[in-house]
Amino acid sequence: MAGIYIHIPFCKKACHYCDFHFSTSPMYKDQMLKALRTEIILRKNYLNTEKIETIYFGGGTPSLLSANEVQILIGQITDQFEVSSNAEVTIEANPDDLNPQYVRELRNTLINRFSIGIQSFHEDDLKWMNRAHTASEAQSSIKRIQDAGFENISADLIYGYPLLGNAKWEFNIQQLLDYQVPHISSYSITVEPKTALASFINKGKQANMDEGQSASQFLILIDRLAESGFEHYEISNFAKPGMYSRHNSNYWDSVSYLGIGPSAHSFNGESRQWNISNNSKYINEIELKKIPAETEILSTENRINEYIMTSLRTSKGMNLQLLSEKFGSDYSNEIYNGLESFLGKDWININGQLVTLTRDGKLFADHIASELFLSTN
């Protein structure tokens, strides 16, 4: 099985914290859609005839596409690849795009899962983020999708920023619980270089983010969702049983995937590719029937390090026996020895050959993984 990701690089507004590749100008939209269809054809052999189990429209803001444009891209995929009859087909959407007509029209496509960029239910927070939607649109969009018969819904929330006290944070979480959203993705706000937020902080117009606040609110999230029957199946992702994101789970399970569009990444188990992050250059290269991508052949150490990073983020954990069988016992023994420094910190659990993070350990997932990485020199 494999997945296909399609990057739609357009947004109405630039969120102050966002460093994904996008443009607020729709100037190249028609040419971009044509280029995306062409790249799908050019890349039809990348996945070696593997059946497509998931399709994911990300961005940017994919909900800026019409339902017909979405279905045309899906149709191009089904023309070039064998797509499973029960494939998970997700579209990321902003609340302000989910008007009744648009939602009804999407019922006539293969879209069967929504990932809604809620971020907050507080008007002042949304303005601080420079989001395009309002708090009332955040609420109505969820109900509208549910009323249209869609059940597989995920919503995003952000925490760890100055305006968000714990009472407001608890309110945001409770809103999603009240709406019975079965999947929640939540991220601590990060200050990325070249974003408006970074500029505000550098100029003294905005205080920096508080790591202590972020950690506290992450633990609040873990506890509240556990109480409500959610499974914490990946550091930033929580779901009711049976409602995991199949597409994103494939990333963490090292399943092959093809990325279509500017800045999109692809992975086939042995190498990784990433397309150029420039709309006009991407379109020009695709028109010449060239793939504007760089490729990295993954060494054994690279592949092991990637497994360490992704597996420790999940509730499945890191399987040392699997590492030994796949790469050799010398590698798995080296990683096991590296775990000793964490045993007295209550950050990890070791059950036979399986290593998972504790509740507190999830706060330090990236640090733990980096300490276990093998040298790639």
All structural domains of the chain: 2-252 (3.20.20.70), 300-372 (1.10.10.920)
Distance between CA atoms of residues 316 and 249, nearest Å? 11
Instruction: Give me the DSSP letters along 280-292.
Output: HHHHHHHHTT---
Strands of 354-357's sheet in order across: 318-319, 354-357, 348-351
pLDDT at position 27:
83
Residue type, 337: N
Nearest to 120 by CA among 168, 75, 80: 168
Instruction: Give me the DSSP letters along 237-284.
Output: EEE-TT---HHHHHHHTT--EEEESTT-EEE-SSEEEEE-S-HHHHHH
pLDDT at position 1:
86
Backbone angles phi and psi of 310, in degrees to 5? -75, -40
How many residues make up the chain in this entry? 377
> Distances from the Cα of 215 to the Cαs of 222, 246, 267, 356, in angstroms?
11, 27, 32, 19
- The b-or-e profile of 295-326 (16+ CB within 10 A means b, else e) is eeebeeebbbbbbbbbbbbbebbbbbeebbee
pLDDT at position 26:
83
Question: What's the Rg (C-alpha) of the chain?
Answer: 21
CB 289 within 8 A of CB 42: yes
Q: Where are the alpha helices (DSSP H) in the chain?
A: 29-42, 67-80, 100-106, 123-129, 135-147, 166-178, 196-202, 211-227, 246-252, 279-287, 300-312, 320-327, 329-338, 365-372
* 365: its two tokens: 């997932």
Residues 6+ apart with CB under 8 A from 367: none
Name the 3-class secondary structure at 320: helix
- pLDDT tens for each residue of the chain, 377 residues long: 899 999 999 999 999 999 999 999 888 899 999 999 999 999 999 999 999 999 999 999 999 999 999 999 999 999 999 999 999 999 999 999 999 999 999 999 999 999 999 999 999 999 999 999 999 999 999 999 999 999 999 999 999 999 999 999 999 999 999 999 999 999 999 999 999 999 999 999 999 999 999 999 999 999 999 999 999 999 999 999 999 999 999 999 999 999 999 999 999 988 999 999 999 999 999 999 999 999 999 999 999 999 999 999 999 999 999 999 999 999 999 999 999 989 889 999 999 999 999 999 999 999 999 999 998 86
